[in-house]
Each structure stands twice: as structure tokens, then as C-alpha cells.
Copies of this chain bind each other. A is one copy, B any other.
Amino acid sequence: MPTPKDSGHESAAGAQIKPATGKLGVMLVGMGAVATTLIAGVEAVRRGKAAPIGSLTQLGTIRLGKRTDNQTPLIKDFVPLADLQDVVFTGWEIFPENMYEAAKHAKVLDKELLEEMKEYLESIQPMPAVFDQHYVKRLNGTHVKKGRSKCDLAQQLRNDIQEFQSKVDRVVVLWTGSTEIFLEPTAVHQSLEAFEKGLLEDDPGIAPSQIYAYAALKEGVPFANGAPNLTVDLPCMQELAKITGAPICGKDFKTGQTFMKTVLAPALKTRMLGLRGWYSTNILGNRDGEVLDDPESFKTKEESKLGVLDFILQPKLHPELYGDIYHKVRINYYPPRGDNKEGWDNIDIFGWLGYPMEIKVDFLCRDSILAAPLALDLVLFLDLAKRTPELSHLGIQEWLSFYFKSPMVAEGLYPEHDLFIQSMKLKNTLRHIMGADLITHLGLEYYD
């Protein structure tokens, strides 16, 4: 009987993973709402003032063995993750505000909480950022690095990373900045050589976020991107990641509406319910909303958001159900809401004999509150991947698809967008690297 339980353990599988001892340095690119919510939140958790809700690494459990075994440890007790006490934050930002001031401007967290941690938050000051308004029209920063060329800027970032590395044991870099304008890969991105030449020649195809990604990977440091702009989803970067053993993964945190979409679309498909149209509109009033009000930045986001349905629903396999879908995504800057985002979905479905039905979902969410725990998990899991020989050499960490609107996969493979497949992939990867049996949910043995 072909169940996975028959296959033997490789003894001491997890033993090859390096332990998570010492300090883990987290470098955030863009220290606005998401970054301050992450930093203040981690500190609040460390002080026992709040719980890291939404974080799989902190609260998630993993079932091992049979349902009747009652073996469900915390993930952080099962795999060797860095402890929150060992996490140290720094980063870059185009405004010179310290984290206390930045958090107050972001208006995400309660004043009371921020006041309590004022001293800690004030102690974190951003380094000057690499920035070019050409790539983010609606922003205009003052706390910006100057350089002779993009290559020079990359070198400055590498210096920043090296300096931070000297103070901590391991480093991860995470883009928590704004969405850049829509760019498509060009010749400059096709190889590491071409990219490095492009850096020297200030190629316009190289946006700041790519310079950060390049600097991180060059240093062998894992890199993830919370926004939808091109960064490591480029041949040159994948080449570099393999060379330096730097784990990379997808882009654009899957938080509000797309999170919901990758939950509901699989549900419809599981039940073979047809889809005629899906209209999604968002209102939000934070800096992200302002940036996305610029059509060029919106296009970057739109591409990231629109792809989801096709991959989940597989219209080619099911043309009668999903062959003719009208999918529209709108984002509207709406200041009255601040960081509180509202996503409204209207879903036109059809069932038995073609009869139409409708699902409407209104998600009153909070952008940074949803993003912060994803940022934390990615940092900790990327650090785990770096320490796991079986994973670090792969470059792309497909098992982290769970966190992204645009997961990253090997060439020739379609991405998995279904949240539940992503979750299973993540957990079975953890089981696998620790030498535990994979779960298939077959479970006939209970009836014998």
C-alpha cells in the first residue's frame, strides 16, 4: 500500500541543521507602517505585553503521526528557529525619523503601547536609503544615499550589511517599502554578468529594490520582498542566490483580499462550482494607498493580484467552469480609513445546471497588522532555510509560497496559489527536514 508511512526515516535528519544560536539581525528596507508594527510588536511580545497573533512560527502547531497519537508540538519547538529574544532590528528609510516617530505617523498601534516602548523605539534609527523618485512617483524622501552609480550604491548597501553582520551572528534582509512602478525584465536581468554591468551603467531597468536584493544576495544573506515589484524574481538574482547559497522566495505579502481570494477560489474549485466574474475593490488610506493611487505603481500591484485566479482554477482543465471569467481588481486611496483597509469582493458563481449565485465578502482588515506577523515568519523561516543544508542550496524556497501573492517557483513549474496546498507544502517541508512522516490525510488505517 503506497502510503508515505511505509518509507523509513533517515535517522537524525534534523541534525544537519545548524542551531539558531546567537543574534539574528533583521534589516528592513522601508521602515514605515509594516516595519514599525513589526518592531514594536516583537518588542511588546518580548515584554509579555501582547501576543504574536498571526504568526505561524510563534503560535503554530504541527501534527506528527496519526490523529490518535495526540502529538502536536509547537512549530518552534519542532524546528530550530531563532528565539525572539535574539532578534535585532535595523534598516533603511528615506525619512530620518526614528521608529517611535515613524510608528506615531503610521497610526497603526495605540498611543499607549507606543509610549511604553518609547525608549526602545527611539533607539532604532534608519540608515539613509537608496531611492529614486522615478520608481515611486508619490514619495519624496530626504534621507537618501548619494552615489556615483547604481554600482556604488550597491556597494554602500553591502558595507551597511557587513557592518551589521559584524555585530550579529546572522542577517536577513526584507523589503517592507512601497510598491515601485511596473517594470518588466529586460536584457539586463538575464544574467548576473549583465546585471553587474547594468549597475555600473545605471541601467534604467534596475530599480532601487533590485539594488538591495543584489547587495543582500551578494553577501549570502536571505532576501524577501513584501511588495509586488521585481526583485529576486529575475534570472540574474536566482543565479546569484545559488552561488552564495542565499535563500530567496516570492513577493508581495498575501494579506487581505488576495489572502481571501486564495481561500475562496480553492473552495469553489474543490466543489466544482463555476465562476462568471470576480470584482474586487479595496479602499485604504495609508501611504501604501497613496502610492498605489499612481497608475504605474498600481499596475505592478494589479499584475500581482490578477494572476492568482488562473493558477488556482485552471481554466484549461475546466473551460466550462472557469473558461470565461471577468476578473477586475480596483484599489482606491481613501484617506478616512488610514491603515484600516477594506476589501469588498463580489463573486458571481454558478452551480447545478448553470444557476447563478453570488458571494459577497467584506473584509474590514488592518494592513500592517496582517503583514507584520508574515514579515516575522519569513525572517525566521528564511534564517532556518539558510541553516538547513537541504534547503539553502536550492535558492528558491517554494515552501514559503504560503506568504506571497506572487510565489516563486522553479522554471517550468506553475506556482501554487491555493492557501491550503501552500500550508500543506510548508508543513510537510518542515516534517521532511526533521525526518518525520509526511501527512496525506488518507487515514484508512483507523478503520482496520
Q: Chain A residues in contact with chain B, CB under 8 A?
A: 1-4, 6-10, 37, 41, 44-45, 50-56, 58-61, 67-68, 72, 109, 113, 259-260, 263-264, 266-267, 270-274, 276-277, 279, 281, 283, 317-318, 320-321, 326, 328, 330, 332, 334-337, 342, 344, 346, 348, 350-355, 357-366, 368-370, 372-373, 390, 394-396, 398, 402, 409-410, 412-414, 416, 418-421, 423-425, 428-429, 432, 435-444, 446-448
Do A364 and B353 have beta carbons less than 8 Å apart? Answer: no
Give Cα A428–Cα B320 distance, bound, in whole angstroms: 25
Q: Provided the pairs A346-B283, A441-B416, A446-B410 are in contact, do residues A361 and B364 lie with their beta carbons within 8 angstroms?
A: no
CA distance A279 to B273 in the complex (A): 25
Number of copies: 4
The interface residues of chain B lying within 8 Å CB-to-CB of A365 are 351, 357, 359
- With both beta carbons as reference points, the residue of chain B lying nearest to A442 in the complex is identified as B428
Report whether A332 and B328 are in contact in the complex, using a CB–CB cutoff of 8 Å.
yes
Q: Give CA–CA (A410, B445) in the complex, Å.
A: 10
Closest 3 CB pairs of A and B: A4-B4, A277-B336, A420-B420
**Which B residues touch A418, using CB under 8 A?**
420
Chain B residue with minimal CB distance to A446?
Answer: B410
- From B61, B318, B357, B432, contact of A59 by CB (8 A): B318
Point out which of A318, A332, A334, A421 has the most chain B C-beta atoms below 10 A from its C-beta.
Answer: A334
Please determine whether A56 and B272 come into contact, CB atoms closer than 8 angstroms. Answer: yes
**Bound Cα distance from A272 to B377, whole angstroms:** 12
Q: Tell me the bound Cα distance from A429 to B263 in angstroms.
A: 23
Please name all residues of chain B whose beta carbon is closer than 8 Å to the beta carbon of A352 when the two chains form the complex: 37, 41, 52-55, 368-370, 372-373
Q: Are A410 and B447 in contact (CB under 8 A)?
A: yes
Given A283-B346, A429-B442, residue A370 in contact with residue B353 (CB < 8 A): no
Residue contact A366 to B351, C-beta cutoff 8 Å: yes
A320 to B52, CA, bound (A): 10
**Given A271-B259, A361-B360, A424-B424, A398 and B447 touching (CB < 8 A)?**
yes
A420 adjacent to B53 (CB under 8 Å): no
- Are A432 and B425 touching (Cβ within 8 A)? no
Q: List 7 A-B contacts (CB under 8 A).
A: A3-B4, A4-B4, A281-B330, A357-B366, A357-B370, A359-B364, A438-B440
* CB-contact partner of A351 in B3, B276, B346, B369, under 8 A: B369
Distance in angstroms from A156 CB to nearest chain B CB is: 32
Find chain B residues with CB under 8 A from A348 CB. 336-337
Could you tell me if A440 and B439 are in contact, using CB atoms closer than 8 angstroms?
A: yes
Task: Give the CA-CA distance A370 to B334 in the complex, in Å.
Answer: 25
* Nearest B-chain residue to A56, judged by Cβ: B272
